[in-house]
A and B are shown apart, each in its own frame.
Chain A
């Protein structure tokens, strides 16, 4: 569905892992949003949604981290994040995290404005330039993206809009890859055993690129594939779009 009036201004919240370790992914998201007619703002005090601490039960630490981000994200424009997982944290858990605090209504406001990148861009797809790529990819449904936000089609719609790109669905694409944030270091061997099944499912499609909307999963899946000598590179969905825009320009 195309919106007649796209928002002029959006805030890009890359989320801490992307900001720190995967600036290419954030830059790609910024450029894609720009080509879709958005004026992309960045708030330097917005660092992290607090999820690592929240998921481990450390509520105070989660609130302390999330508070700075919440203050920085105040405003009226949509907040586009580069992670299904962090979007879930803000949308579903911030109202609970800030319940009975002075920031409760601000948290609800931000929760209502936060948008996951691919579902946001899927609505602006007609504004993007011609997309072209010769890639063969497979897509991993990250858990919070799929079950937290209920987004399954949007990233596939985006990949489907890329001329020449082939999406090969893997067995068990909806199954957790075993990353789980702190789970990956609390139970490393178990986490890697889970990754192995994902690596095998992805590789058996014949695709050598696995695309996802959560870079944590990709870091885990491809870190394991790399150690096993399996050729599988991970790409955040915005990177695929950005690359396809470039390939689309003659």
Chain B
């Protein structure tokens, strides 16, 4: 099932599409439960995971506090190792840089490893337009590409596809019937992609971390595809969000310990690739050109604001896995790129509240996200702050007036008591019909999906107390 959500409509409409999709809830909930259980188990292998999370938050805050210095040092050291650096202010600049690179090097095929920032900047569409075949080589992203789909999860992008979906998609791609056998389907993808790796002129990756003291990038993966993307083609370009820089190798050890455990429940991923510029003259392999594109694209909107902690994010997806809303809707109801609680926070901020402000309300503020975040982003508090901006700038006048009326009644004991007497009498007479028969939208929205109102009492507690001389 491909993503047919309409992003010009609100979150509620998109959530309805997701809720109406047979099987989606089971696919998503099974996947996130598995990941969450694995995360908990992996954290047990740490002496003091809570202290490590504190440390990780500090490391990220420190990097953000001197971001200019860290990025300058990363760039200088990367260039010293024979690499090239480009700072892209927005998506357009980043896309253009990679597009120009493809043109200059005459690339016909580009192999890509999993990278949310390239999804964010819409890189594939631009490459396709210029006639460059951009192939996703992460299995999940490959499935999505064959399906014509967006990622529905930051770490596990194809959890919305069942094995049957994948068999059907791969059958269509290969013009051959394929069984719903995970190993056989993976084997097919592996063989298909191997050809692409060997023929591609351009390799595109993301970067999990940039280590400024070393001018190095770190990329974690479980499929080995990232390593091939960065070493087989003659030209490699890594696209990195500007906030993903840290200072030292020691800091990397801390971040890796938490990233792998939080993302996939592993102590360490199958591959941890470190790269530092282009192939040296005495080295037998590696790319001849190594480019690093550092992307802002709205991230600096968050710097120095009460939202800056969101830039600590290392895209582990743990907050998606525990989110009770995500588990119902999957990622597509949020945004084509960043979904779940972190997506609900950063989309409005990076794009501007007007475009995505509604996402901040796509949460019960249950705090499960905050409880698992390895870098201690207070996600549910940030959502409340975003709602404050929405309330001030974009909320409909009726909503604002409604809260004013409510505040008047609820701010005074006598007015509240009067309301309770009238409201309860009314409720007792009408019962559930208050939701269906009366023009009271708040009550009708309560009962609309099939949810009864509680029975209305004879007296509010305060009136009982008074009667009893309390």
Binding site for B on A (CB under 8 A): 14, 16, 18-24, 26-27, 42, 44-48, 52-62, 64-65, 67-68, 72, 143-144, 147-148, 174-176, 178-181, 183-195, 197, 219-220, 222-224, 226-228
Contact = CB atoms under 8 A, between A and B. Distances in A.
A190 B391 contact: no
B367 A144 contact: yes
B460 A20 contact: yes
Interface string B442-466: 1001101111111011011110111
A54 B365 CA distance: 11
Contacts of B446: 184-185, 188, 223
A65 B411 contact: yes
Interface stretch (B138-146, B232-240, B342-350, B413-421): B413-421
A208 B207 CA distance: 51
Nearest to B390: A57
A190 B325 CA distance: 8
Contacts of A26: 461
B367 A148 contact: yes
Contacts of B452: 223-224, 226-227
Residue of B448, B449, B454, B461 with highest tally of chain A CB at under 10 A: B461
A52 B405 CA distance: 13
Interface string B9-23: 001100110010000
B12 A147 contact: no
A193 B457 contact: no
Nearest to B424: A20
Contacts of A148: 367
B281 interface: no
A110 B392 CA distance: 28
Contacts of B392: 57
A224 B466 CA distance: 33
B290 to A, nearest CB: 44
A60 B466 CA distance: 31
B contacts with A: majority SS: helix
Nearest to A182: B361
10 contacts: A14-B461, A42-B470, A44-B413, A45-B413, A52-B406, A53-B406, A57-B395, A58-B395, A187-B362, A191-B364
Given A47-B416, A65-B407, A19 B368 contact: no
B384 interface: yes
Nearest to B400: A58
B365 A180 contact: yes
A contacts with B: majority SS: helix
B15 A20 contact: no
A235 to B, nearest CB: 12
Given A45-B413, A186-B12, A189-B449, A53 B364 contact: no
B264 interface: no
A193 B420 contact: no
B118 interface: no
A183 B361 contact: yes
Given A42-B470, A53-B406, A16 B416 contact: yes
A54 B410 CA distance: 14
B412 A45 contact: yes
A180 B406 contact: no
Contacts of B15: 187, 189-190
Residue of B15, B328, B395, B451 with highest tally of chain A CB at under 10 A: B451
Contacts of A183: 361, 363-365
Interface string B410-438: 11110011001001100000000000000
A42 B416 contact: no
Interface of B: 11-12, 15-16, 19, 25, 29, 324-325, 328-329, 361-368, 370-371, 384, 386-392, 395, 399-400, 403-404, 406-408, 410-413, 416-417, 420, 423-424, 442, 445-446, 448-454, 456-457, 459-462, 464-466, 470
A48 B417 CA distance: 12
Contacts of A22: 454, 457, 461
A192 B12 CA distance: 13
B16 to A, nearest CB: 6
A68 B411 contact: yes
Contacts of B453: 223
A147 B322 CA distance: 13
Contacts of A193: 19, 25, 328
A223 B365 CA distance: 21
A194 B464 CA distance: 35
A222 B452 CA distance: 8
B462 A42 contact: yes
A33 B364 CA distance: 31
Contact of A143 (B367, B407, B445, B461): B367
A55 B370 contact: no
A54 B391 CA distance: 10
Given A186-B361, A224-B450, A227-B450, A176 B368 contact: yes
Contacts of B386: 57
Contacts of B370: 147
B410 to A, nearest CB: 5
